Chains A and B, each alone.
Chain A
Amino acid sequence: MSFLTYLINGLSLGSIYAIIALGYTMVYGIAKMLNFAHGDFIMVGCYVIFTICSTLSGNTFVGIIAAIIICTLLGVTTERIAYRPLRGAASPLAVLITAIGVSYFLENLALLIFGADIKSFSSVVKWNGVTLGDGSLRIQGVTIVTIAVSIVILIALQLFIHKTKEGQAMLAVAEDRGAATLMGINVNKTITLTFAIGSALAAVAGALLCSAYPSLSPYTGAMPGIKAFVAAVLGGIGSIPGAMIGGLVLGIIEILSKTYISSQLSDAIVFGILVVVLLVKPTGILGKKIQEKV
């Protein structure tokens, strides 16, 4: 039964990656930029929950809502102040470097406010979970909640994108920004909305991440952020189901290789898989093939 336990743990970690990757992939697909600071939005969300729940001993639910609101505002503000001025810059690297600057800024701001010491985060999921079979398979509450939340988010996002006007606008902007403008779509508003959704998802992912791995530091978001980006690329960046698949695959591989091969090498294996997948399919599992017209 232990394999099943690891598999479920992998699924849970993968779900967290998937939620982060959804934010990454939406921003990439629509704003055409790598938001390197996305991982740090997660960290901000965690600190908000930590402050409200542990320091001010507030309600968990209030904490999560506050984290979502603050992250959304953070995402929108960052886009407005730091990224939008660089839209249309001569090099796409300009906005990438700015995003790195934002990442440094958030990490060091957290360092200044909360210090470098690792805070122990108390899980937002109070449920202990279930025990199956003769007691050998125990699934933690947070694991089940994580998987469930990610499924709900995926469905909600798909519905939003395909069934609402705003979602259609996002697709149009992703496809061709110039044409979308001509069709009367407000590109700025659409991109702002994308950042809002992506950042809100980062807050949710943060709550789940720190509940499963309860140590919080200013750098908590960085590595999961990068892994989620890898997941988004693995699934085919710009594709929402792709981000989900990529996240799950990544989480499962990471947990299984940590368990069965080497915890030291697990990251190398995760990145190795990415390399192999991209060599076979250069635009990821569900990515569209791009061919330059001669």
Chain B
Amino acid sequence: MINYNKMIFELSNPGRIGYSLPRERFPEYNIGQIETQYLRKDELLLPEVSELDVLRHFTNISNKNFGVENGFYPLGSCTMKYNPKINEEMAGLKAFRNLHPLQPASTTQGALEVYYNLQQYLSEISGLHEFSLNPYAGAHGELVGLMVIKAYHEDRGDFKRKKIIIPDSAHGTNPASTTVCGMEAVEIVSNERGRVDLESLKAVLSDEIAGMMLTNPNTLGIFENDICEITKLVHEAGGLMYYDGANLNALLGKVRPGDMGFDVMHINLHKTFSTPHGGGGPGSGPVGVTEELAKYLPNPKIKKHEDYYYVENSKDALGQISSYFGNYLVALRAYTYIRTLGKENLRLVGPYATLNANYISNALKTAYELPIAGYCMHEVVFNGLINKETEVKTLDIAKRLLDFGMHAPTIYFPLLFPQSIMIEPTETESKETIDDFINVMHKIAIEAKEQPEILKQAPTTTPIRRTDEVFAAKMMIFSYKDYLEYINNRG
């Protein structure tokens, strides 16, 4: 049913229903008793369909999607590892799903215990003192972490520290979060080894620096081997170090951000700790800090006294950044993952992910340009084909991969190279899967030389072909209502 081509609204038939609601228990009351000035007059454009219509529709459109269980998903910087089924089973338990967050703590001890212990595990894995699980996503965690940094400086009466140093290889969320936090991003260039250039760093250090955000391994998938020097320099200048946990998967079992001198960090539970990406969310971005900064973590906080867990709102906290405990059920999945692996298997995650990435790097560097020599960590970045004489661009390579039943890597990021292809295999992929990918990538490199037209046309086997993005931006058809107007105007 790959050709299924209906919108749910187009299945609608007036009077048809897909629900079963309780019968009226109090017919003496009726919403019409509210004065009409409070009630809506505009008709609702919602579908009227049967239950089976709903199931068929969404099942059919799901078949136009590609998930981790469909095939290899080497999307760089996104850590598309397997999302375990047992996590979903635990997150589906009614005893957690049906808890109202305002219930007294005496009735939610199990839920609070999961939250509290996950904080503890993340602290241990990160080498930091305390975590808040409240931030909803990675970018939200960045914002909250920067708030902690700002609160710390202002608490010391130091109001001039408003600048955050960010390498040019950083994710776009880093500078964007900095602006949203009322600070200024100061970009520094990478050196020819793809790493932070110490001289550039020294040049921007001053008493206006609030801190520095760093991803390590960075977005080129390589470890910042001057990390101890970097943290020392920033600390000496009075700044704090922020660790962007986007690439933490590489370090699991090998290196703890706290031990590298980082003061604040976030973790993407939907990357490193196996919770599903959900087509873009919900994620979870817990923020961890040193002991000195712990008091600034957002409210509400979950604490433990003897064997009793309770919720605390502290005056020192930076405030609230979520209504309650963040994406709680996402955190519960991450807790399940950690308990499933245990200390014995957690320590293997980073090494296996790194082995897989280097195996790919080594096998593909004969056909694809590896701009930074040496070992990578959990992901590898190529700058397009070595053979630059073909018309074939990174976009074409990515699209061609779809025809082979594989998801494309991240492309055109990092921005340091014009034809970036960023490949992250993760530790859950087997040698056979990776060998298949390597063979396909070599085949594509040959096609690029011999039959470039195939790549320019790709993909051809997917539910749709390449799309007209200019039309989308120009026409601004954002809803079914817009669509109907467009169709009517077109005649």
- The answer to whether A and B assemble together is no
Q: Which residues of B contact A (CB under 8 A)?
A: none
